[in-house]
Amino acid sequence: MKPRHAALAVLVATIWGVNFVVIKVGLRDFPPIFFSALRFLAAAVPAMWFVGRPRVAWKWIVAVALALGVAKFGLLFVGMAAGMPAGLSSLVLQSQVFFTVLLAAVLLRERPSAVQVVGMGVAAVGIVVIGADYGAGSPLGAFLLVVTAALAWGLANVATRRAQAADPLNFIVWVSAVAFPPLLVLSLVFEGPAADLAALRGLDWSNVGAILFIAWVSTLLGFGLWNSLLHTYEAAVVVPFALLVPVAGMLSGWLLLDEAVTPVRLGAGALVVLGMAATTIRRRVPRVERDLATAVAAP
């Protein structure tokens, strides 16, 4: 990867790591599901007039909107509102890497390599250790919500792979537009219109800035740069940079929110990162096998 592209990948990972701190700040003033709904509204409305009509079948837009927008971000925001620290959330959520590998094996018949299986096992051990350490003094339910959010992200990744969107920015904008209505309905049902209206009445520059950072910087800019890199390089070259997200998340949580980072969590976090790194290792296909596959696929 060229140095300037590597710098962009590091920038995106840093943005996504700091994003967890911004979410935590926004959750001080907003009900979590309503906050997630506003994030997608702010991401969709200004951009949908520029990206044009959807260029992917509606079934894939709806599938990713429900898995990524409603399930993943809804559960993540609720989990963080229930007490999950920003730094740990950024780490645990990256378990989506091995959830994606598992789901792709089941739904897409993509067999993981032996190294990937071992890596997923190592990462799973790290997640269990973090859960045990975190649950000792905090609500374990918040941790489990973020783990479930990672599973939902894995489902969204598989649906995105099936969608084969030629214009990733167009895709994420319309996914955001479709995710907003069900999130708003869920907020009205479970959080109540009074809480939502109170949050809107209390709008100030800090919580407006949180919404705009999550919507424009993290979602539109972050995913735009990331998808551009994926268009330029193979996924195995780009995806490992996502392992920097929990590093940025835990560091920013420690610096900006004074979140505790225990030695147990650091050690377990290292297991998660190592395990997830192993899931990005691909089986090298022999040259003869590649040539044979090319010959069979040729007209």
Q: What's the mean pLDDT in 101-109?
A: 76
Structure tokens at 231: 């268009």
**In a domain? residue 185:** yes
Reply yes or no on whether the pLDDT at 241 is more than 80: no
- Tell me which residue range forms the domain holding 59: 3-111+140-260
Displacement of CA 292 from its chain's centroid (Å): 37
Whether 242 and 13 have beta carbons less than 8 Å apart is answered as yes
Reply yes or no on whether the pLDDT at 246 is more than 50: yes
Q: Where are the beta strands (DSSP E) in 165-287?
A: none
Q: Which pLDDT value is given to residue 280? A: 60
Q: What is the mean pLDDT of the chain?
A: 82
Say how far apart CA 128 and CA 272 lie, in whole Å.
10
**In a domain? residue 56:** yes
Number of domains, the chain: 1
Closest CA relative to residue 75, chosen from 161, 6, 153: 153
**In a domain? residue 195:** yes
Structure tokens at 5: 């592209």
Q: Which pLDDT value is given to residue 294? A: 36
Q: What's the mean pLDDT in 90-108?
A: 78
**In a domain? residue 282:** no
Share of the chain above pLDDT 70, in %: 87
Reply yes or no on whether the pLDDT at 22 is more than 70: yes
Q: Which pLDDT value is given to residue 43? A: 92
Whether 93 and 145 have beta carbons less than 8 Å apart is answered as no
**In a domain? residue 176:** yes
Q: Which pLDDT value is given to residue 297? A: 35
Whether 272 and 128 have beta carbons less than 8 Å apart is answered as no
Q: What's the mean pLDDT in 192-207?
A: 92
Q: Which pLDDT value is given to residue 269? A: 74
Q: What's the mean pLDDT in 77-89?
A: 90
**In a domain? residue 287:** no
The region of weakest confidence among 53-62, 196-205, 235-244 is: 235-244
Q: What's the mean pLDDT in 200-218?
A: 90
**In a domain? residue 244:** yes
Say how far apart CA 178 and CA 69 lie, in whole Å.
8
Structure tokens at 51: 């990206």
**In a domain? residue 289:** no
Reply yes or no on whether the pLDDT at 227 is more than 90: no
Calculate ∠ Cα 45-51-56, nearest 5°.
105
